[in-house]
Structure formats: C-alpha cells, structure tokens
Amino acid sequence: MKRFLSILFILSFSALIPAFSQEQPDLVSDQWLQEHYTKRDVEIPMRDGVRLYTTLYEPVRAAFNDGIVDFTKGRPILMLRTPYGTKPYGEKFNSDLNSNLRNFVRNGYIIVLQSVRGTYMSEGSYQNVRPFNPKKSIAPGGNNQTDEGSDTYDTAEWLVHNTASNGNIGVKGVSYPGFYTTLAGMSGHPAVKAVSPQAPVTDWFIGDDIRRNGAIFLVDMCGFGGSFFRTRSGLTQNGMSGLIVPDKSLYDFYKGRAISDILEPIDTLRYLQQVISHPNYDSFWAERNPTTYIKSMRSAVLSVGGLYDAEDYYGALATFRALDKKCPKVDSYLAVGPWFHGGWRDLKYNHLDGAYFGYGSASYFIDKIEYPFFAYYLEGKGNKPSRVNILPTEETEKTLMENHRTEGDWVSSESWPIKGVEFKKLYLQGDKTVSFSKPETSSSLTYTSDPSNPVPFYHENLKGRGKEYMTGDQAFASLRSDVLTFTGATLTDTVTVAGPLKVNICLSSTGTDADIIVKLIDVRPDGYQMLVRADIMPARYRDGFGKAEPLKPGKKYDVKFTMNDVFHRFVPGHKMMVQVQSSWFPLAAMNPQTFVKNQFKAVQSDYVRADMTVFCGRKSGSFVELPILDSFGAK
C-alpha cells in the first residue's frame, strides 16, 4: 500500500461533530429495540458436528420506515465471538445493543453473539488460546480439522444462507473476544470483510495476562487463570468461579510466599501445567500467538487499544505492527485513546485514578471511528478511514481538564509512530536527576531488594487488581529506599513523547537473578506523580526470551527492553521522572533473586535479599530512549 504522510488535527470536522460534553449520549431505548428487533437462539453446526450456541438479533424491516436504512439487498452482519457467554438468556436483549452497539442497531445491522466451542451453551472441547491451524482446509469437506478460524468460517457460511444479510460480515471483540476476532479475519471466508480486534489477547508470554516479558504476572494468573484454566463439564449458562480467592488485601495475601506454594491450589489445571512446563519462550507460545500466522489475514483490520489498559494494550500494537510488516496489502488501521481496558465502550469515562482526560472520547470513537470503519467495508458507505487515529494525553489535573477535550484533539496520521519522531535518550544521572544530556562523570546508585518487603504496585491495599494503578500517583514509591527516583527540571517547553519507549539499564546484582521495573512519570505542579508507562523485564532474559541465563554477582549487564507506546505531552510547569525498582508486587510475582531454572518451581529458601547497583555514566550508563515529536510540541 502506498504510504504518505497525512498528519492533521481533525478540526475540519468541528462543524459537523458536536464538541465533547458531560451529557449522557443519546442511547437506544429498550422500547425502540423491542419494536425494531427480534431475538432468536440457534445452534450452528460446525464441520465436525459440534454445535455452537448463537444468539441473533435481527432487524424488523417494517419497523425501519424512515427510508434511511436500505433493506433491498439485505443488511450487514456484525458478529461477536466470545468465551464469556451470550447473556442474557431468554427474551431479554443484551445491554450492549443500547449503548456501544447503538450505531449498528440504528442502521439495521444483524447482530450475532456466539459462544466459542466448549464454553457455556456451546458444544465441544474448550482450549485456551487455541492455536490457528494453517494446514487445515479452509472450507469444510477437506481434512475436517478445526480451529477458531474454521469455526468462524462455518458460522459465516451458515449466516449468509440463513439470515436476510447482504453477504457482508464484520467481527469485533474486546480482550479475549479480541483474540477470536483476529482469527476471524484469518478464517478465509469471503463474507468476512472487516474485523476489529480491540485489546486482543495476543501473546501470553510477552505482553498479556499471564506473563510480561516472561515475568510471572501473579494476580491475573491466579485470578483469571484460577477460573478460566478450569475444565468445563457440560453445557451451562453460568461461568466458573475462581479457585484462589484472597481473604485479605492482595499484598498481604501473597506476601512472603513462594510461587510454588501460591500456585498449589491450581497447579493441577491442565493449561497451567502447560504454562509451567514451558517457562521460556518456545513453539508452545509462538503457536498461540495469532501474529505468527498473520499472513493469513484476508479482512480489513481496525486494531484498538487503550494507553492505560492494564491487560492487553500490547495486543493492539503487536497486531497492527505485524500487519504492517507481513501484510502490507491488507487495509490496516489503528485507534488508541487514554482508556483503561475496554474504556472505549464506557460512555461516561473521563478519568482514571487521579488523572483526568476529559469527556466524550468513547463516544467519539464509537461514532466517528468504529462505526464508519465497518460501514465503509460492509455497506460501501462513507470514505476510507484515516489509517491511524490517536487521542494524546497531557494536562491531567481535574480543574484544568474537566471541560477541556474536544474532537479536534484527536490526531490523524498515515503511520505510527508518526513520521518525524526522533528517539532521544533521557539519561539517569548520579545525582538522581534525569536529563537529555549525557552524564559528565561515571557514578552508581545502589538499593536493596528484599522479597520480604517488596514494592507495592499501588499505594492502597486492594483485594482486586483494579485498573487505577495505570495512572496512579507514584509518590508512595518515591519515599522508599528500594526505589531509585530520578527527577528532571521543571519544563519550560512541551515535550511530546509519541511511540515505544526503549529502556537500557546498566546494573549489577549481588544475586543471580533480578527483575527490573522502570517507570516514566509526569510530575504535575500539584505534586501528583502520574504514571505514564511502566513495565517489567527479568534480567534472566537479557539475551533473549528463549533461554534463561543467571547473573554473575558483581558483573555489569545492560538490560534492554521496549515498553508499550505512549502519546503524552509533558507540558510546561511539569517535570519528567523515572523510577527503577526490582519488585512490583503482587502485580508481578516476586523474583527469588536466586536463579532457578524454572521460576514457577521456586521454593521459600530461594528468596534472598540482593543489592542492585544502577550505573550512570557517559560510556556505561542507564537511560530511557524517548520518541520525541517536536512538530507536535505545542498546541
């Protein structure tokens, strides 16, 4: 696809689009839905005889009497495939039709909700992140092998012959349903014209619920995994309860316990056993990553992510980038905003923890990005969408942000990162400052990481992970002796950071293993230290995720990794801050700091205190390389 730079603020639409407001959007009423739609439940047969429970919401042609919706050629289908069930069962309608699906029902789309095989009321055997099978025949009748792509194909084939459709199908889904959405686009069925994987589960080792750069993401593994890794036993309308239920705060519940002890209540679950038996990145993980087979994509793709998504932001970026690299002929789009996980569906969303982002971003996405994308490919309506749409963040203080955002704050581009980004190193200095200038002399700073007193991931003791920590105030961490805090000078000009963050920490340890957590923070004039981005990197994977290597005590190492993209403006009066630490508990499991070949099998005696030394210098130093976009520095 020919590319050219087309960067602009979407001000040209201001005459057509009302400014964001605090008012509740115009929702679809229950009465309107009952008058305009019918609901029916069907069991759609797959090529191997398994039947998938599917709920269809179909428009009543006579009810659309305003002449705007054309039924002469049939209506498009929007399908959502999910492992979370198609509730509510019975006569009631799904509440999403009133809110984030309102554009589709107003335009007479056929809405299809389907439980994937082996979940809830669908037959068959369920498999977590079931691998895509590129060797199966696309259409039934060949080798009859199945995967999520073939199930989508067989469902699409049934729908085009058993509904009043126009023969065009779109698929979308958030989180785990996003995984199934990506595979739907790889199904090969000619009717599946457009898909939108939104915060899609993509790589459970690198950037998702189970692992992050190979680090064990403890809370999600025990919470989500404690229920979802269980074996289903027959058809049911109910979900499965968790097997690990903390009876106190997460920090206190997990503190001081070895990972092997923590996982004992669920270590018999088949999928967790597979996870434990593959501690390093290998074919097991690659086969479950949809981007491995992304060349099979045949649909237009709108990848959607939240800048402050605690779960699956990585998936949106990885999908978009894999399509860019491997499928340049596929129409691929990206939409990102200052959202938590699924926040682009929350019509009331305006802030996360103490960071305020203004009102209306979810409505703008739903009305001006998501629906037009599907309308273009399924209805032939409107113009081809802008390739990249991102809403950056900047001033987040409530009194300054409540009524600030407008639709013109969105940035449109033909590429991401935006052409013209220049990577500049923000150096950690020996006097605990940060600067774009190299340190004049070499120095080092040491902190002690103690497994019996790990650094919390949030300033409050929570019984659930929550999402607020993604923009949480880091002042509590600045006070700890086991956190190195580097603070920059008060800014006099805007610094716009737009893209991935490249980290290089030069360190040594008295232990044989270590985790490195790095945070980029925006310090507001009111003192709030807003987390902009943070991530974790196990030093054992410094030379690659395929093999774990111990540290030699006292030896210097460069630990390098890339953090998920940001689009944030550090404005005048604010300060830039970087923090370095070795625990992020219990979001991530505590590293024993003694090298254990399979970290899942660490026992209590493996957990030891270790001194971590971070080096700051001209030749051997530590820095965060920031993608600076000077042309978007000031508004």
Pair (374, 251) in one structural domain: no
Q: Which of 413, 443, 470 is the last residue of a domain?
A: 413
Q: d(Cα 490, Cα 576) in Å, to the nearest integer?
A: 8
Pair (343, 448) in one structural domain: no
Measure the CA angle with vertex 158, ends 153 and 161; round to 5°: 125
Asked if the model's pLDDT at residue 318 lies above 70, the reply is yes
83 part of a folded domain: yes
Q: What is the pLDDT of residues 402-426, one digit of tens each?
A: 655 667 799 999 999 999 999 999 9
Q: Which of 261, 285, 309 is the last residue of a domain?
A: 285
Q: What is the pLDDT of residues 120-148, one digit of tens each?
A: 999 999 999 999 999 898 888 877 899 99
Edge to edge, the sheet with strand 165-174 lists 8-9, 411-413, 388-390, 332-337, 300-306, 192-198, 165-174, 75-82, 110-115, 51-59, 37-45
Asked if the model's pLDDT at residue 349 lies above 70, the reply is yes
Asked if the model's pLDDT at residue 634 lies above 60, the reply is no
- pLDDT value, residue 209: 84
Sole residue written with tokens 């932001």: 313
For 425-445, the three-class secondary structure string (H helix, E strand, C coil) is EEEECCCCEEECCCCCCCEEE
Measure the CA angle with vertex 382, ends 377 and 384; round to 5°: 60
Asked if the model's pLDDT at residue 14 lies above 50, the reply is no
**121, 42, 44: which is closest to 85 by C-alpha?**
121
- The H or E element containing residue 230 is none
- pLDDT value, residue 630: 78
Asked if the model's pLDDT at residue 591 lies above 60, the reply is yes
Pair (543, 602) in one structural domain: yes
- pLDDT value, residue 27: 83
Q: What is the pLDDT of residues 50-93, one digit of tens each?
A: 999 999 999 999 999 877 899 999 999 999 999 999 999 999 99
CA dihedral 600, 603, 604, 605 (to 10 degrees): -130
Pair (460, 365) in one structural domain: no
Pair (36, 89) in one structural domain: yes
Pair (281, 301) in one structural domain: no
Mean pLDDT over the full length of the chain = 93
Q: Which domain holds residue 594?
A: 422-632
Residues contacting residue 431 through CB under 8 Å, at least 6 positions apart: none
For the stretch 199-238, what's the b/e string if a residue is b when 16 or more beta carbons lie within 10 angstroms of its beta carbon?
bbbbbbbbbbbbbbbbbbbbbbbbbbbbbbbbeeeeeeee
Pair (107, 192) in one structural domain: yes
Please answer whether residues 50 and 147 qualify as being in contact, where contact means their C-beta atoms are separated by less than 8 angstroms.
no
Asked if the model's pLDDT at residue 226 lies above 50, the reply is yes
- Per DSSP bridges, beta strands 515-523 and 575-581 are antiparallel
CATH code of residue 45: 3.40.50.1820
Pair (536, 556) in one structural domain: yes
CATH code of residue 553: 2.60.120.260
Pair (447, 548) in one structural domain: yes
How sure is the predictor about 279, in pLDDT bands with cuts at 50, 70 and 90? Answer: very high
- pLDDT value, residue 20: 43
- Give the chain's domain count: 3
158 part of a folded domain: yes
2 part of a folded domain: no
34 part of a folded domain: yes
Pair (388, 325) in one structural domain: yes
Determine if the peptide bond prior to 140 is cis (ω within 30°). no
Give the pTM.
Answer: 0.94
- pLDDT value, residue 139: 87
What average pLDDT score do residues 432-452 get?
Answer: 97
